[in-house]
Amino acid sequence: MGTSKYKVSKGQKSKYEIEQMICEVRELFDQKDTFCVGISTSTKLRDNKRFVFDCIAEHEKNNENGIYCIDIDEKEINKKDLEKMRNNHKYIIVNLPPISISSEAMEIARECDTLVLVEKYAHTKYSEFEKTLAIIKQENINLAGVISA
């Protein structure tokens, strides 16, 4: 995703940004033949990650073939649960705690096909981001990209 393909007015910009972000996430599933995407962050700003997750969940809740959203803060899941879900859902997004501080999140992230990090400009520290990238590399997790929120 580069700069905006369409010109939008200032008032429309906010909703447009969210719609565009959801489109990009959907493309992850379509282009890379992905079943499960994990959403995590390298910072302690979980609210931003929760916001992105909620946006996607809200958008997809009435979609018959929509993305199934799981928040592991609310519902504990394991590798077997994910396998079962493969049979019932086409796409899954899992809201994960920061993988640098949660071993449970790390376990689930390994089972995801790809991972998306939600970061915030001027708040995500280089040190935290580098630490998360090192873990992702070490655990051989596929990182799709970053959403800045």
Contact positions toward other proteins, by CB under 8 A?
1, 13-15, 17-18, 20-21, 24-25, 28, 48, 51-52, 55, 116-117, 119, 121-127, 129-130, 133, 143-149
- CA torsion angle 103 104 105 109 (round to 10): 100
Closer of 108 and 144 to other proteins (Cβ):
144
Write down the least CB distance from residue 23 to other proteins, Å: 9
Whole-number Å distance between alpha carbons of 140 and 12: 39
Shortest Cβ 84–other proteins spacing (Å)? 28
Q: Provide the residue type at 73 as one letter.
A: D
The token pair at 25 is 């996430």
**Shortest distance in whole angstroms from residue 123 CB to other proteins:** 6
Residue closer to other proteins (CB basis): 71 or 104? 71
Tell me how far, at minimum, the Cβ of 36 lies from other proteins, in Å. Answer: 16
Is the Cβ of residue 60 or residue 119 nearer to other proteins in the bound state? 119
Cβ closest to other proteins, residue 37 vs residue 72: 37
Contact between 45 and 52 under an 8 Å Cβ cutoff? The reply is: no
Burial class (CB in 10 A: 0-12, 13-18, 19+), 41: buried
Give the separation between CA 29 and CA 47, rounded to whole angstroms: 24
